[in-house]
Amino acid sequence: MLDRPIRRVPTLRDITVANVFFEPSTRTRISFELAEKRLSADTVNFSVSGSSVSKGETLKDTALNIEAMKVDMVVLRHRSPGAAVFLTRCIDAVIINAGDGAHEHPTQALLDMLTLTDIHPSIEGRNVSIIGDIAHSRVARSNIYGLRALGAHVTLCAPGTMTPVGIEEMGVRVTDRLDEALESCDVAMALRVQLERQEAVLFPGVREYHERFGITLEHMERYPDLRIMHPGPVNRGVELAGDVVDHERAVILDQVTNGVAVRMAVLYLLADRGAEPAS
Ligand code: CP
C-alpha cells in the first residue's frame, strides 16, 4: 500500500491515537504517526517538554487525562522498564509499547524480522549476531525473543561490562571477540552505546571501543556476504564506521521504511477491525 500513488486507507478513521513520548525519538515517533495517518486515524502528539509532566504530573494522571479526552490507543515511549504494562492497569485504551527503558522495543523487533525476511525469506537456521551495548538495549532483548521464536541462532558480542549476567539463558551464544561474531553470521545487528543509560564508565574510551567492537570496511571486505542492520540512531565512527553505514550491504534505511508498514499492521490488529486486513 505504501508504494501506491494514494497511500491512505480509511480503516481507522474513527480511531484516535495519542503518541506519548517521554524520551526522544525520531524513527519510532515519525513512523507511528505516519502509520496512523496512512490508516486515517486521528493523531495527537505529546512530549514532556511543554506538558504538565514538567509541573510534576505523574504518568498515571497524564494517561487518565488523555483517556478522558476519548483517546482509543496510546503509543508510549518511557524511560522506565514496565511503563507500558503499568499503563494497561490504569486505563482502558489500547497501549502500544514504543520502547520502555532498557527493557523492550517490540515494534522495532517486528520491523527487524520483516527486514531480515526481505534478505533471507526464512529466518529459521540463520545466524544473527547482535553487537554492542546489550546491557542497555531494549532492541537486543526484543530481537532475541523474535529471532529465537523464528528459529535463528543468535550470538551476542559486547565487552563483558555490557553483557548482562545470565543472558545465555535466553538461548544465545556470547562472545567478546568481534571476528568470532562476524565470521559465522548472515546478518550483524549493531547497537549504539547508550551513554545516557550508563551509570558507570563501562569502557576506556570511544576510540578503543571502535577498535575492538566497531564494524569497519575491512570487516565488510573480509566477510563478503555480511549484511548490516542498526536500529538507529547510529553513532558513526563508534559501533559502525561511516563507510559501513553507507555501504550497499547495510539495510539500515530499509529497516526504517519497513517500520511504517509494521506499525500500520500493529495498529490495525490492535484496533481489532475484523478478520481481513486492509488491502
Ligand atoms: N530505533 C529507534 O527506536 O529509534 P528512535 O529512538 O529514533 O525512535
Of residues 60, 66, 107, the one with CA closest to residue 87: 60
Ligand 1 geometric centre to CA of 25 (Å): 5
What is the position in ligand 1's atom list of the atom closest to the CA of 231? Answer: 1
Percentage of the chain with pLDDT > 90? 86
Which pLDDT does position 275 carry in this prediction? 52
> In this structure, are residues 102 and 130 in contact, taking their beta carbons and an 8 Å threshold?
no
Mean pLDDT of 238-245: 97
Q: Which is more confident, 277 or 171?
A: 171
**Cis amide bond preceding 204, omega within 30:** no
Q: Which of 55, 65, 15 is nearest to 35 (CA)?
A: 15
Ligand 1 surroundings by CB, under 6 angstroms: 25-29, 99, 105, 108, 231-233
Q: Is residue 47 scored above 50 in pLDDT?
A: yes
CA distances from 208 to 13, 159, 190, 221, 238 (A): 52, 11, 16, 21, 9
Residue 164 pLDDT greater than 70, yes or no: yes
Question: Quick one: pLDDT band at residue 274, thresholds 50, 70, 90?
Answer: low
How many beta carbons lie within 10 A of that of residue 153, not counting itself?
A: 18
Give pTM, 2 decimals: 0.93
CA distance 247 to 278: 35
213 C-alpha to ligand 1 centroid (Å): 21
- Report pLDDT digits (tens) over 61-117: 999 999 999 999 999 999 999 999 999 999 999 999 999 999 999 999 999 999 999
Provide mean pLDDT across the span 21-25: 94
Closest atom, ligand 1, to C-alpha of 259: 1
Q: Could you report the per-residue pLDDT of 59-70, keeping only the tens digit for each?
A: 999 999 999 999
| Rounded Cα gap, residues 149 and 144, in angstroms | 8
Q: Is residue 137 predicted with pLDDT exceeding 80?
A: yes
Residue 193 has pLDDT above 80, yes or no: yes
**From the CA of 117, how far away is ligand 1's center (Å)?**
21
